[in-house]
């Protein structure tokens, strides 16, 4: 099996989705290439290839053969710069000539310039047309040699048709609008790239590193794990790491989207690209460059374009068939009406670029705007899915709750004391990493209890632990788990405090403690519900989520109490980690579109299985960024309905774009075929849909309203 590699190739000159498809098709034909994603916003191609069969030179030749350039191509930087300069000069000449000729022709319609246009010979007009339209014509010829048809192919045929009937002035105006359309596409593409560029611009390129007591400014690529980085007021932190000295107020909006700054001090974790507004820090580097949380965020935003929505793939395929259909319609117009001008108008009014732009521009605008709010969406595919999601599954611990449980009560049994029960539990849980284990150890520490060393530690995921403590066999866990080690009286439910049946805390998790086959007692562990969660869930119902269900490993009483506090949502209790994946699959088998919300660490498999997995509080958590389809960079439930609102707005804009484009093209083609739309106006008309789509998609740059503040 070949040793495949993934390489990134920067590409310049792409102005629309049609451009990316041409580059993709050119690279796909190379031997040894197995996968290609060409990204318009990031201006690069991500290629999976066999390095023994394809190299950088072959890739560059394929890209240049498609009419584009490999940015900063090795061995030819000056050539690329010269090509760019030449293209800009030709573009300027084309626009100037086009503008002048446009004024002349309009003046001619009003009888103002008849003498001027009458004295200009046809050959000079032809020369002006070719000179001003050369960059476009060259791309059309290049595409034709590769058996490719572009939107400019039709317009170029329209120019030829105008010249064939002796109307060089019409051809010149057509070229003018071709160039206007090209600039609209470039402007639109730059708008799509702006979000990525704004993110990239925040990345520090250097860091002040202290080595052997000496501070020195180093490129970020030379900063290594363990280096001590010094950050002063007004500077951006250049690395991810732990604060070892100093106190500072840090604006973390670039990571979490939260506008309020936070106070950090020794022991706090800080992230690259965040800004110190007050104070100074010394940070021990954990990760630098592209390995930082911010570096991964930038990379994921760049690559989000590769995850095309179904509606976008439909638009791409539609464009492929649309152009031949228009050419056929033009041929029928010529055969039936025998009107060369009407035929030219049909070719000129057809606008496939607007169809190609209808989806990706809206998606890119939403992904970029969401990233600035701390919502990292990995592609338009997931926005489309979120917009039609009807089922929401939610993990409890760390998602609906703060994930910091504390021991609220210790209930001894069968002659044991509270201290003995807690000390045995803390000893058995000494090597466990579970949140409840940490709560047990903290409670024992707060009471000043001596915790013995444990041996033979074993753990059953989601159930409990066993260990040998001072020669005694101790088990700590759920009622289901402890039943194998001690008898639990049937009259004592998990919510009961003692033999009198007093309730310790409804909604608290219970850990049973058994020693040498006898039940010693149990611990009540309470967690705090996130205060914004009930309002957020109510907002999700208003947004059309029909089924909301909480999944938890807690007992029935705990789950019921929390579900009631959340507005009476459905729940499933006593679940193991593998049960959550099974439930996701069950819902999908019923035809439901399932969204799963979890902490991104313990729930990674379930998040990956869901149609859309949302990881909450993913800042600094690599596994959350990788496993989930959407990452919320801070622990804030208000972001969830905002995310759904963004998805629904985006798809509404996409549908409006496609409907507008369809109506516009059908109307334009009909008028042109009937001879009611002159070629000049047909050329002008084909540029307008791009502007309409750009204006409509720009609305997505504004924050979405989730209706969370409205009454439920």
What residues act catalytically? 395
Cβ atoms within 10 A of the Cβ of 164, count? 12
> What is the helix, strand, coil percentage profile of the chain, to 5?
50, 20, 30
The candidate with the shortest Cα–Cα distance to 162, out of 309, 343, 26, 373, is 343
CA gap 168, 399 in Å, rounded:
68
The candidate with the shortest Cα–Cα distance to 528, out of 404, 683, 359, is 404
CA gap 71, 79 in Å, rounded:
11
Do 507 and 565 touch, CB atoms closer than 8 A? yes
CA gap 640, 618 in Å, rounded:
13
The candidate with the shortest Cα–Cα distance to 567, out of 388, 407, 394, is 394
The candidate with the shortest Cα–Cα distance to 70, out of 143, 7, 160, 124, is 7
CA gap 222, 228 in Å, rounded:
13
Instruction: Print burial letters for 26-45: b (CB count within 10 Å at least 16), e (below 16).
Output: bbeebebbeebbbbbbbbbb
- The C-alpha angle 663, 665, 666, rounded to 5 degrees, equals 65
CA gap 654, 648 in Å, rounded:
10
- The pairing of beta strand 44-49 with beta strand 281-288: unpaired
- The structure tokens listed for 177 are 């609008």
- The structure tokens listed for 186 are 């470039």
Which residue in the block uniquely carries the two structure tokens 């117009």? 333
CA gap 639, 630 in Å, rounded:
11
Cα first-last separation, the chain: 58
CA gap 215, 283 in Å, rounded:
13
CA gap 169, 680 in Å, rounded:
9
The candidate with the shortest Cα–Cα distance to 182, out of 45, 55, 28, 18, is 18
Do 342 and 333 touch, CB atoms closer than 8 A? yes
């Amino acid at each position: 099996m070949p040793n495949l590699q993934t390489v990134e190739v920067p590409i310049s000159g792409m102005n629309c989705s049609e451009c990316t498809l041409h580059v993709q098709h050119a690279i796909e034909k190379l031997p040894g290439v197995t996968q290609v994603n060409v990204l318009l916003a990031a201006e690069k191609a991500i290629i999976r290839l066999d390095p023994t069969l394809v190299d950088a030179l072959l890739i560059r030749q394929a890209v240049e053969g498609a009419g584009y350039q490999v940015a900063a191509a090795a061995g030819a930087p000056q050539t690329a710069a010269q090509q760019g300069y030449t293209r800009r000069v030709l573009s300027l000449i084309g626009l100037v000539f086009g503008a002048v000729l446009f004024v002349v022709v309009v003046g001619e319609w009003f009888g103002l310039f008849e003498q001027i246009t009458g004295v200009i010979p046809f050959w000079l007009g032809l020369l002006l047309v070719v000179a001003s339209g050369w960059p476009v014509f060259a791309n059309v010829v290049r595409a034709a040699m590769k058996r490719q048809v572009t939107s400019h192919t039709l317009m170029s045929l329209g120019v030829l048709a105008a010249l064939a009937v002796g109307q060089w002035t019409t051809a010149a105006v057509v070229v003018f609008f071709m160039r206007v359309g090209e600039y609209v596409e470039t402007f639109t593409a730059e708008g799509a790239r702006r979000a990525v560029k704004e993110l990239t611009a925040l990345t520090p390129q250097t860091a002040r590193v202290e080595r052997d007591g000496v501070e020195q400014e180093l490129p970020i690529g030379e900063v290594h794990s363990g280096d001590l980085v010094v950050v002063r007021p007004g500077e951006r932190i250049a690395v991810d790491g732990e604060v070892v000295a100093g106190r500072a107020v840090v604006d973390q909006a670039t990571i979490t989207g939260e506008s309020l700054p936070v106070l950090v001090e020794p022991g706090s974790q800080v992230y690259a690209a965040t800004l110190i507004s007050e104070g100074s820090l010394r940070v021990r580097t954990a990760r630098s460059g592209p390995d930082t949380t911010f570096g991964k965020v930038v990379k994921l935003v760049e690559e989000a374009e590769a995850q095309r929505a179904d509606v976008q793939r439909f638009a791409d395929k539609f464009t492929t068939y649309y152009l031949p259909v228009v050419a056929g319609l033009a041929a029928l117009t010529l055969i039936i009406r025998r009107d060369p001008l009407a035929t030219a108008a049909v070719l000129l009014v057809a606008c496939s670029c607007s169809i190609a732009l209808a989806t990706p521009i809206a998606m890119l605008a939403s992904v970029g705007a969401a990233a600035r709010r701390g919502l990292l969406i990995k592609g338009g595919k997931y926005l489309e899915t979120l917009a039609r999601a009807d089922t929401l599954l939610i993990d409890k611990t760390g998602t609906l709750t703060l994930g910091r449980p504390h021991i609220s009560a210790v209930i001894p049994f069968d002659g044991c004391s509270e201290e003995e029960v807690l000390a045995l539990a803390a000893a058995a849980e000494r090597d466990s990493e579970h949140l409840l284990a940490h709560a047990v150890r903290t409670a024992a520490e707060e009471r000043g209890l001596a915790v013995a060393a444990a041996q033979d530690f074993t753990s059953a995921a989601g159930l409990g632990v066993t260990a040998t403590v001072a020669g005694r066999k101790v088990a700590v866990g759920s009622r289901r788990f402890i039943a194998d080690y001690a008898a639990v009286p049937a009259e004592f439910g998990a919510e009961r405090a003692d033999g009198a049946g007093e309730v310790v805390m409804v909604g608290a998790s219970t850990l049973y403690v058994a020693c040498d086959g006898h039940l010693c007692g149990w611990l009540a562990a309470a967690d705090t519900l996130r205060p914004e969660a009930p309002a957020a869930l109510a907002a999700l119902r208003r947004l059309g989520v029909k089924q909301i269900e909480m999944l938890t490993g807690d007992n029935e009483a705990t789950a019921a109490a929390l579900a009631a506090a959340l507005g009476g949502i459905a729940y499933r209790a006593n679940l193991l980690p593998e049960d959550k994946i099974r439930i996701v699959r069950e819902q999908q088998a019923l035809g439901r579109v399932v969204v799963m919300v979890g902490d991104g660490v313990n729930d990674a498999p379930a998040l990956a299985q869901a149609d859309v997995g949302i990881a909450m509080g993913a800042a600094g958590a690599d596994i959350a960024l990788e496993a989930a389809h959407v990452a919320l960079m801070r622990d804030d439930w208000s972001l969830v309905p905002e995310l759904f609102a963004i998805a629904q707005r985006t798809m509404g804009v996409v549908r409006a774009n496609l409907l507008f484009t369809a109506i516009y093209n059908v109307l334009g083609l009909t008028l042109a075929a009937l001879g009611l739309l002159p070629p000049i106006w047909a050329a002008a008309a084909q540029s307008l849909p791009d502007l309409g789509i750009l204006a409509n998609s720009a609305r997505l740059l504004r924050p979405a309203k989730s209706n969370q503040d409205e009454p439920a």
